[in-house]
Amino acid sequence: MYGAIPYEYSQGKAKGVKAIVVRNGSGLEMNILEDRCLDISHLTYKGINLSYLSKCGIVGPEYYDKAGYEFLQSFFVGFLTTCGLRHIGAPCTVNGESFGLHGSISGIPAEETTACVDETA
């Protein structure tokens, strides 16, 4: 079975997070988090998990805190988490501007997304 199905988390700190589950019909399945910079939270191949989910689980962007190491409070890890764009690595201050761990892009929701299957391809 293949397809792209949009859904929304309904409980806990993930409540309201929009996501898309994508299946290619050959055993690859992934969850793409629209509200977390299109990061890939889960990836499996033929039922084998290829990702890691941290203790905090999926967390909505409203819980993101860019100060110091607070990034870790909403870092679900997953298969792919976007870092940057202006800073990656340890928290620091440059020219009076503070940058938290790994930057803030992962806490920014995508603005326009579409999930569809092209049967003609």
Q: Which residue has the tokens 């962007």?
A: 61
What is the band of 73 on the pLDDT scale with cuts at 50, 70, 90?
confident
pLDDT score recorded for residue 105: 83
C-alpha span between 100 and 31 (Å, rounded): 26
Identify the three-state secondary structure at position 14.
helix
Alpha helices in 12-69 (DSSP H): none
What is the band of 121 on the pLDDT scale with cuts at 50, 70, 90?
low
Q: What is the pTM of this model?
A: 0.86
Please give the mean pLDDT across all residues of the chain: 90
52-53 vs 77-78, strand pairing mode: antiparallel
92-94 vs 52-53, strand pairing mode: unpaired
Mean pLDDT, residues 31-44: 96
pLDDT score recorded for residue 98: 87
Q: What is the dihedral of CA 30, 34, 36, 40, to 10 degrees?
A: 10
